[in-house]
Amino acid sequence: MKRETIDLFKDIFKVLEPPPDLTLSQWADKYRRLSSESGSKGGRWHTDKAPWQREIMDAITDISVEKVVVMSAAQMGKTDAFLLNTIGYYMHYDPCTMLCMQPTLSLAETLSKDRLMPMVRDTPALKDKINEKSRTSGNTIFKKSFPGGRITMTGANSPTELRSRPIRVLLADEIDAYPPTAGAEGDPLILAGKRLTTYWNRKEVDTSTPTIKGASRIEMEYEHSTMEEWNVPCPSCGELQPLEWANLSYKVDADGEVESVTYVCAKCGVIHSEVEWKDHFNEGRYIAKYPKRKIRGFHFNSLASTFFGWDKIVKGFIEADAAVKKGNVELMKSWVNTELGQTWEEDGEKASKDDLLKRREKYHCEVPDEVIAITAGIDTQDDRFEIEVVGWGVGHESYGIIYKRIYGDLKQQEVWQNLDEFLLQKFKKADGTQLRIICACMDSGGHFPNKVYKFCKARTARKIFAIKGKGGADRPYIPKPSKNNREQAYLFTLGVDIGKSLLLQRLQIEEEGPGYCHFPKDENGYVRGYDEDYFKGLTAEKQVLHYKKGRPYFEWELTGETKRNEPLDCRNYAQAAIEITGLTLKEPPKKETGTQAPPKRTKRRRGNRSGGIS
């Protein structure tokens, strides 16, 4: 055979031979270019700059691994590392059919426009793979075709795409934000997973920041995996260990700025600076709790990040801790989820009846000086009305004024007249100032809804509104009212679960100030109604985790000590009433005459309260 023929065959076989094996991190380091849209300055991808990403990326392209789960802190480069790099790898190196699922269709559109196409534009190896200008080539915002495959972008709320053609690679992003069901089709993650079954070399990647313990999709996926934690070596003893918030120490200066942050080794106890620890990050690796499991699962928190300093995490904690002390735990929930990459445990606690009974105090007046406005909540029973009148001070510090039961036959006009007279009365402060009820919410969910609507419509000018309670954590507390009833009265369909959660937070505040709940004692023959039965009813429910068709959800249930929860409902309705008014509860301005505003009550610490994370 002639030399020219031999060389020709060598060239042919060279073209036909499969490409050399590259892991995802190797592919990214060689080919990937970052776009300005990714929040970076652009340029080459370097996995060494984010060492906690390497093992996860390489697991995604490991042929022996069918599923990869990533439960982590937020803003850690998950989109670029585990979604876009994976799409780029399979588009360029191993063409196939892919599905990238976001929580909603609008987020899928944003990812396609703002992240995917800029990556294709700026990465030379991908630039010619998609003909973006031609819509006839099978390319739309949500579908991108390339030689040998396609990528479909969809939302977990779009059942049509979740049950269409087979796919080889499923990328499921932020799965804790997915709806419980895609229309009437069922769990979107399960639906999408069924499209993988025809491929022997299928791949599924699930990523998310976790949410509530017991209800978190990513937590459930992670707990069925190898459960691998990011570990780094101590600068002194070299012991590999996970980075844990409990081992971090910080100092704050007089202005509240973070002065220094250090970390103590869990093995040798030596304290090192952030820089000293991060110098050893490239020696870190993941250690599995269950190494023999087939699903690879990874967890890391924001202490592993090289994108920002530990002082940012500390500042977030300080702000969240301050909010907890004021009765708002939402910031701490978010901090635990987004910085620690851990679920928040709703422990199902309820306020203590005995603690609240001990909290009762003498006002020495009908209404304390600190009260700015008064509202009422009315629960409608077959033989009575139960009403609570609540005073509101600065920052929603509340003062129980009176809890009243008005008995009678609701079919008769007399009991309605008695209720109206009660709501018309004025309540006095020590200086003689009189306050009226500025808004009241009245339950219409009993056996007399039309009577309630008629009563409330005639008193709309006094802001007495009919309400109906609806459960569900996704339902807004105070929605826009409707007039969809026979009397055409304003009707607020309250998200009572949100209201109860807010009330529980406030009842657990132990220091007087914003959100704190005061309760009065009877005095001078004036019966206010805050007896033991009231506090039994106020603390009658707690949140309990249930499952429906395999999906977790929380529901408020009676605890068993009493079946009467009217005081809880009345306080919830009075709380809703102050929200409906839209009042900004701030310190009243001082009078121009020079008269001082009433002095603030000295804040008294009610027991011990920890703002930290255990």
Number of residues that this document lists for the chain: 614
Same domain, 152 and 34: yes
User: CB count, 10 Å around CB of 92?
Assistant: 20
Same domain, 19 and 137: yes
Angle between helices 566-581 and 496-507 (to 10 degrees): 100
H/E element, 384? strand 384-392
User: Among 150, 154, 92, which residue's Cα sits nearest to residue 120?
Assistant: 92
Quote the domain boundaries for residue 36.
3-42+53-209
Residues of the chain whose pLDDT is less than 70? 1-20, 38-40, 132-138, 164, 182-185, 327, 346-350, 473-474, 545-554, 560, 588-614
Residue 373: per-residue pLDDT: 96
Same domain, 409 and 463: yes
CATH number, domain at 77? 3.40.50.300
| 3 state SS for 33-51 | EECHHHCCCCEECCHHHCH
Q: Are 315 and 335 in contact (CB under 8 A)?
A: no
Residue 234, helix vs strand vs coil? coil
Residue 241: inside a domain, yes or no? no
Residue 412: inside a domain, yes or no? yes
Residue 9: per-residue pLDDT: 58
User: CB count, 10 Å around CB of 567?
Assistant: 25
Residue 369: inside a domain, yes or no? yes
Residue 585: per-residue pLDDT: 83
Residue 244: inside a domain, yes or no? no
Same domain, 106 and 149: yes
Question: CA 530, CA 533: separation in Å to the nearest integer?
Answer: 8
Same domain, 362 and 341: no
Same domain, 331 and 362: no
Same domain, 92 and 198: yes
Same domain, 444 and 516: yes
Residue 306: inside a domain, yes or no? no
Count how many domains the chain has.
3
Same domain, 328 and 392: no
Listed residues 209, 231, 251: the one ending a domain: 209
Listed residues 158, 190, 209: the one ending a domain: 209
Tell me the pTM: 0.65
Q: Which string of DSSP letters, residue by residue, matches 291-312?
A: TT-SSEEEEE-GGG-SSS-HHH
Question: CA 527, CA 339: separation in Å to the nearest integer?
Answer: 50
Phi/psi-derived region of residue 561, left when phi > 0, alpha when psi is between -120 and 50, beta in every other case: alpha
User: Among 376, 369, 327, which residue's Cα sits nearest to residue 575?
Assistant: 376
Same domain, 364 and 336: no
Residue 97: per-residue pLDDT: 94
Residue 103: per-residue pLDDT: 93
Same domain, 497 and 407: yes
Residue 12: per-residue pLDDT: 55
Phi, psi of 139 (to 5 degrees): -110, 125
Residue 485: inside a domain, yes or no? yes
User: Which tokens hold the place of 385?
Assistant: 């009305």
Residue 473: per-residue pLDDT: 67
C-alpha distance from residue 313 to each of 75, 345, 461 (Å) = 12, 20, 49
Residue 475 C-alpha from the chain's centroid: 14
Residue 88: per-residue pLDDT: 96
Residue 486: inside a domain, yes or no? yes
Question: CA 66, CA 34: separation in Å to the nearest integer?
Answer: 28
Same domain, 337 and 436: no
Q: Are 207 and 82 in contact (CB under 8 A)?
A: yes
End-to-end CA distance of the chain, in Å? Answer: 78
User: Which tokens hold the place of 556?
Assistant: 């408020």
Phi/psi-derived region of residue 439, left when phi > 0, alpha when psi is between -120 and 50, beta in every other case: beta
Angle between helices 85-92 and 24-31 (to 10 degrees): 90
CATH number, domain at 479? 3.30.420
Residue 351: per-residue pLDDT: 74
Residue 350: per-residue pLDDT: 66
109 by Cβ neighbours in 10 Å (0-12 / 13-18 / 19+) ranks as: middle
Q: Are 372 and 585 in contact (CB under 8 A)?
A: yes
Listed residues 297, 324, 345: the one ending a domain: 345
Go through 54-69 and write b for each residue having 16 or more CB atoms within 10 A of its CB, e for each that does not: bbbbbbbbeeebbbbb
Residue 9: inside a domain, yes or no? yes
